[in-house]
Structure 1
Amino acid sequence: MLIQFGQAFSNYLYDIFIAKFDFWLVFGLAAQLAFAARFLVQWIASERAGKSVVPLAFWFFSIGGGLMTLIYGLVKREPVIIFGQLLSNIIYVRNVMLIFKNRQRESQTLSN
């Protein structure tokens, strides 16, 4: 029983990562890595500050990884990925817009 499960699992992994290996698999994995990098950036920034912070780089990694994942979803025709990343990227871009708007407002206040 355990040997059969091991063989089935091995076949499953082979089918996903070897038999289906192509450019889009590499692109999709790169998209996931770019997206995951945002958490690393956020964690490092928080550790340095000694409190939870969300640096601007977090949002840029969110947009980059999200757009790459959206492209992957479009190419692979995955509606769950398409809808999820489309909405998420709108939110990420809006957050960056709000950050820049706030920075501009702060710099105008300081110059007055």
Structure 2
Amino acid sequence: MTTETIWLGIGFFGQALFFGRWVVQWIASERTAESRVPVSFWYMSLIGGLITLTYAIYRMDPVFISGQAIGSVVYVRNLVLIHRADQAKSQSPSQT
């Protein structure tokens, strides 16, 4: 197996994970019969984006690099907001 083949595999894996997030979102929405974006969507976005960013860096593609790098900031920010909201819910007194 050549280095190029391994990098192509990494690139395709990142893209597959990145695409898979839409399947997760679709299934979550169908289950509740309304639009939902589960937390796993953001994790898959981040991990798939970072793997794809790694591939783009290997390819030295500035367009691809900038798109994936900026996207990763958005995914991290959404995860931070979600976790802050979860912490606030767990710290607030329950209403009975």
For the criterion TM > 0.5, the same-fold answer is yes
> What amino acid is aligned across from residue 98 of structure 1 in structure 2?
L
Question: Any unmatched runs of 5+ in structure 2?
Answer: none
SS of 2:34 mapped into structure 1: coil
Taking structure 2 as the reference length, what is the TM-score of the superposition?
0.91
Question: Any unmatched runs of 5+ in structure 1?
Answer: 1-20
Is 1:52 matched up with 2:35? yes
Taking structure 1 as the reference length, what is the TM-score of the superposition?
0.78
RMSD of the alignment, in Å? Answer: 1.3
Aligned positions, number? 92
Residue 110 of structure 1: CA displacement? 3.6
SS of 1:38 mapped into structure 2: helix
Higher relative contact order (CA closer than 8 Å, sequence separation 6+): 2
Identity of aligned residues (%): 45
Identify the match of residue 13 of structure 2 among 30, 38, 48: 30
Identify the match of residue 71 of structure 1 among 54, 67, 75: 54
Residue 111 of structure 1: CA displacement? 4.7
